[in-house]
Structure 1
């Protein structure tokens, strides 16, 4: 794909996301029957546009959008970085693509981001940890993760420290292991990028560094 094609795809995705958000948000605040029809049509147009640059069909995308109720806001994805005394980082091998990533996942309703990352690390690695620092809050699309999603995602990265001894054991994952940041395995880049692991290591070495956001 050429740079021009990538730029056009990015513009279409941005316009589609905005149209879907306008339509969904309008439906939250209006009771007028004609306005509701307009907002439903706006949402439908956005879904059709998104299908032009996504793997999913308009029907599949509509099903995803239909799950979202209320005012449209970004989804929150949390990732936890745990280091051992030698600076090796804990990674888990995800079952979906058999590649490695920082443990993490979606924030569930009723949970704080800090609670969610503690839960995810324990579920995916077997380690009991506590979150010690929010290192970064980053936009998934701006970071360059692939594939693109038909909804907006903010990724929150936390430093975590182990509070219970014990060998990591996979619970929801294929494998769990420690890696030098200079010898990382093949990463699941839809979830974690090498630059993000480097950022976590920088903050582990220098906790006084400020939180990063975009």
Structure 2
């Protein structure tokens, strides 16, 4: 799994995922023969309508293993978390309404940790530490 966290000045873009019923960074499963960085590029376009070049995707910043919850609960996701710079003032042209209830920018301190990935608090702590 490749997550990509769009961040801008102490804010992170999260999606309200229909199946997981959690606020998560966008991302998706790595397809056979696809690199995790290529997954970021593909999913960014499919889920948020944003286009970037694979060269713009740096190394993963975080690695987690999580038991999934929600409608497709029970399997293990090993996730690489990538960091991308976003613009919270730019309108999103579209998002995958079949997969997400909504998409929203949150200040780091306002992320709903009780309804998010169980590793989100640690990830945000690492982001804060890297900004300071």
Q: Normalised by the size of structure 1, how large is the TM-score?
A: 0.47
1:95 aligned residue = 18
1:187 aligned residue = 115
User: Computing the radius of gyration over CA atoms, which structure comes out larger, 1 or 2?
Assistant: 1
Match of 1:157 among 78, 81, 88: 81
Query: After the TM superposition, which segments of 4 or more aligned residues of structure 1 sit over 4 Å from their partners?
Result: 145-148
2:102 aligned residue = 175
Distance 1:180 1:162, change over 3 A: closer
Instruction: Provide structure 2 residue ranges, at least 5 long, that are not aligned to the other structure.
Output: none
1:117 aligned residue = 40
Shift of 1:96: 1.7
SS at match of 1:109: coil
Q: What is the root-mean-square deviation of aligned Cα atoms in Å?
A: 2.8
Spell out, residue by residue over 1:15-40, the C-alpha distance to the aligned partner (whole angstroms, 9 max, x if none): xxxxxxxxxxxxxxxxxxxxxxxxxx
Shift of 1:162: 4.4
| Cα distance in 1 for residues equivalent to 2:121 and 2:27 | 17
Spell out, residue by residue over 1:82-119, the C-alpha distance to the aligned partner (whole angstroms, 9 max, x if none): 112x2210111112244311101210112110010222
More strand by share: 2
Structure 2 contact 15–25 (Cα < 8 Å) conserved: yes
Q: State the number of aligned residues.
A: 121
Shift of 1:203: 6.4
1:80 aligned residue = 4
Shift of 1:204: 5.3
Spell out, residue by residue over 1:41-94, the C-alpha distance to the aligned partner (whole angstroms, 9 max, x if none): xxxxxxxxxxxxxxxxxxxxxxxxxxxxxxxxxxxx11101112x221011111
Shift of 1:188: 3.8
Distance 1:184 1:162, change over 3 A: closer
Instruction: Provide structure 1 residue ranges, at least 5 long, that are not aligned to the other structure.
Output: 1-76, 207-214
